[in-house]
């Protein structure tokens, strides 16, 4: 009869060590042991810090549709509007870093709010990690039809001739439309009176009702009013002309250095496993290259915002933050929470 295993002291020591290793491995969380190979195991929440219907929301729903098919799990848009995007952004900052709660970041939440608020409920560098670009869209400076200007040059000349007499509308103090106009004023060296409304929609109605002279708006929103002749397009904010508004010049052609777009990007809570971030990045590259997605974004005046790496996206956002912080400081804009 062969000797029993337990009768050999060296064998007993080897068995005890092996058992200790097995117990130790079992104690490791499944995610770490599996190297996140099972992600995504269930639906993913895509937090949009603005209300339904805005361009950010629509672009996010386009992404969710294509991402769901690519990942094999539902990607669900969760609108958490309020406080200029602070509420929704804070939700993601405090969410588990497991790849199941993601943020649609925007020019306002990531690059403007840090300069507007003395104390934010989140810190972009501390709380988030960039994943990929999503969409970028053009803006247009429009004037009420009864204002006797048809170009950016004519607007600047009129403003210089009557300092502080012209008015510009916005969706409220500290909103994107407010800051766009402040930067325009700064570069042009002119003075215009700010008239804040409770929302961008109300600001547009104010322009249509001759309550303000000019304002910045997205191309898709402004286009119907331009086509009807109710407002006059003075210039496009980006450095390239728009196929949606043929014949409209860029503002930079009259005011060198002026360059603005509205954009949305994908961020995740800092601490999200690298394997998950890599899979998210690869997914974004695949879906943003698809012609049907490009067509759907084009319908809302957007196009894919391609960033080759998270580091490139991080540099883009940081450069935008520096620009808008400077604009905010020069204009002396402060917003109370």
Quick one: pLDDT band at residue 24, thresholds 50, 70, 90? very low
Q: How far apart are CA 333 and CA 116, in angstroms?
A: 7
Q: Lay out the sheet containing 128-137: strands in order across.
A: 75-79, 44-48, 101-106, 262-269, 128-137, 302-304
pLDDT at residue 256 tops 70 = yes
Q: How far apart are CA 264 and CA 262, in angstroms?
A: 7
User: Max Cα separation, the chain?
Assistant: 111
Tokens of 46: 């895509």
Q: How far apart are CA 147 and CA 145, in angstroms?
A: 6
Tokens of 148: 């006797």
Q: How far apart are CA 110 and CA 320, in angstroms?
A: 9
Please, which residues have CB within 8 angstroms of residue 135's CB and are 6 or more apart in sequence? 55, 59, 263, 264, 297, 302, 303, 304, 305
Q: How far apart are CA 165 and CA 161, in angstroms?
A: 9
Nearest to 90 by CA among 55, 123, 115: 123
Q: Where are the beta strands (DSSP E) in the chain?
A: 44-48, 75-79, 101-106, 128-137, 139-144, 167-170, 193-196, 214-218, 231-236, 262-269, 302-304
pLDDT at residue 27 tops 60 = no
pLDDT tens track for 140-153: 999 999 999 999 99
Please give the average per-residue pLDDT across 169-193, as a whole number. 95
Domains along the chain with CATH numbers: 44-137+262-331 (3.40.190.150), 139-253 (3.40.190.10)
Q: How far apart are CA 85 and CA 33, in angstroms?
A: 36
pLDDT tens track for 202-218: 999 999 999 999 999 99
List of long-range contacts for 223-226, beta carbons under 8 Å, 24+ apart:
223/301, 225/142, 226/140, 226/142
pLDDT tens track for 271-311: 999 999 999 999 999 999 999 999 999 988 899 999 999 99
Q: How far apart are CA 314 and CA 103, in angstroms?
A: 15
Q: Quick one: pLDDT at residue 32?
A: 38
Q: Is 218 helix (H, G, I), strand (E, B) or coil?
A: strand
Task: Please give the angle made by the CA atoms of 145, 151 and 157, to the nearest 5 degrees.
Answer: 105
pLDDT at residue 19 tops 50 = no
What integer best gives the mean pLDDT of the chain?
Answer: 89
Q: Quick one: pLDDT at residue 220?
A: 87
What count of residues does the chain have?
A: 337
């Amino acid at each position: 009869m062969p000797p029993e295993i337990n009768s050999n002291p060296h064998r007993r020591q080897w068995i005890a060590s092996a058992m200790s290793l097995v117990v130790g491995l079992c104690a490791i969380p499944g995610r770490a042991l599996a190297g996140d190979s099972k992600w995504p195991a269930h639906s993913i929440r895509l937090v949009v810090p603005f209300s339904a219907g805005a361009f950010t929301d629509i672009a996010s729903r386009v992404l969710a549709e294509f991402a769901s098919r690519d990942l094999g799990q539902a990607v669900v848009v969760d609108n958490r509007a309020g406080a200029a995007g602070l509420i929704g952004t804070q939700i993601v900052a405090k969410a588990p870093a497991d790849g199941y709660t993601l943020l649609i970041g925007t020019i306002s939440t990531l690059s403007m709010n840090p300069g507007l608020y003395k104390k934010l409920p989140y810190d972009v560098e501390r709380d988030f990690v960039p994943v990929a670009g999503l969409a970028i869209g053009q803006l247009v400076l429009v004037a009420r039809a009864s204002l006797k200007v048809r170009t950016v040059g004519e607007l600047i000349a009129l403003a210089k001739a009557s300092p502080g007499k012209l008015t510009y509308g916005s969706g409220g103090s500290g909103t994107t439309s407010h800051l766009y106009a402040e930067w325009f004023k700064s570069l042009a060296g002119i003075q215009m009176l700010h008239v804040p409304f409770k929302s961008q929609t109300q600001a547009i109605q104010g322009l249509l009702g001759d309550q303000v002279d000019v304002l910045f708006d997205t191309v898709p929103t402004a286009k119907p009013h331009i086509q009807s002749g109710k407002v006059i397009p003075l210039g496009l904010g980006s450095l390239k002309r728009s196929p949606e508004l043929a014949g409209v010049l860029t503002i930079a052609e009259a005011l060198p250095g002026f360059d603005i777009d509205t954009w949305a990007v994908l961020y995740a809570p800092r601490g999200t496993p690298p394997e998950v971030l890599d899979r998210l990045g690869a997914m974004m590259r695949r879906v943003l290259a698809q012609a049907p997605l490009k067509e759907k974004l084009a319908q809302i005046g957007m196009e894919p915002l391609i960033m080759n790496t998270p580091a490139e996206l991080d540099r883009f956002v940081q450069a935008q933050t520096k620009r808008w912080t400077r604009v905010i400081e020069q204009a002396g804009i402060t917003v109370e929470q």
